[in-house]
Structure 1
Amino acid sequence: MSAVDTTKTDVAELSYEQARDELVRVVNELEQGSSSLEESLALWERGEALAKRCEEWLLGAKARLDAARGATQE
């Protein structure tokens, strides 16, 4: 785990691993059900942003792999 407090970090600045790890923490906290409605909504919004960031990283990685495969087939 990183020493950086990612809960206040802009999601766009997170690495895939940081976003994924924080998303796991957010989901766990939501599943506990001990947060207030306002806290739960904030967690949900953060989780949605984190999931989108992870998807961006994965799509970028897939594009790089596809490009590398295309370059080796030429």
Structure 2
Amino acid sequence: MAEAAEIETLSFEAALAELEQIVGKLESGQAPLEDSIRLYARGAELKAHCEKRLEAARLQVEKIVKGASGGLGVEPAEFS
């Protein structure tokens, strides 16, 4: 689990760059089977981390609004 904890400390950009390197290695077909399995597992963890970071960013740029009918909704944050 040390690797999973280490992944949590990566920025989105660092995780994405590592994921791209892993994809390149796997697509080349040059890695031995055991290395490919290890790389695939690491890539899956990096992908999940990137998705989590993107979702957190999405939530930061949305805001909750109260509609005319009293119901709550979400709309994009305004940047001015």
Q: TM-score range by the shorter chain?
A: 0.7 to 0.9
Structure showing greater radius of gyration is: 2
1:30 counterpart residue number? 26
Residues 1-58 of structure 1 deviation map (CA, whole Å, 9 limit, x = unaligned): xxxxxx9x81111000000000000000000111111000000000000000100110
Instruction: Extract unaligned runs of 5+ from structure 2.
Output: 65-74
Indicate the structure with greater strand content.
2
The runs of at least 4 consecutive aligned structure 1 residues that moved more than 2 Å come to 67-72
* TM-score relative to the length of structure 2: 0.72
Which has the higher relative contact order, 1 or 2, with Cα contacts under 8 A spaced 6 or more apart?
Answer: 1
Q: Aligned equivalents of 2:24 and 2:77: distance in 1?
A: 42
- Number of paired residues? 65
Give the root-mean-square deviation of aligned CA atoms.
Answer: 2.3
Q: Which runs of 5+ in 1 are unaligned?
A: 1-6
Identity of aligned residues (%): 34
Give me the TM-score of the superposition, normalised by structure 1: 0.78
For residue 17 of structure 2, the aligned residue among 12, 17, 21 is 21
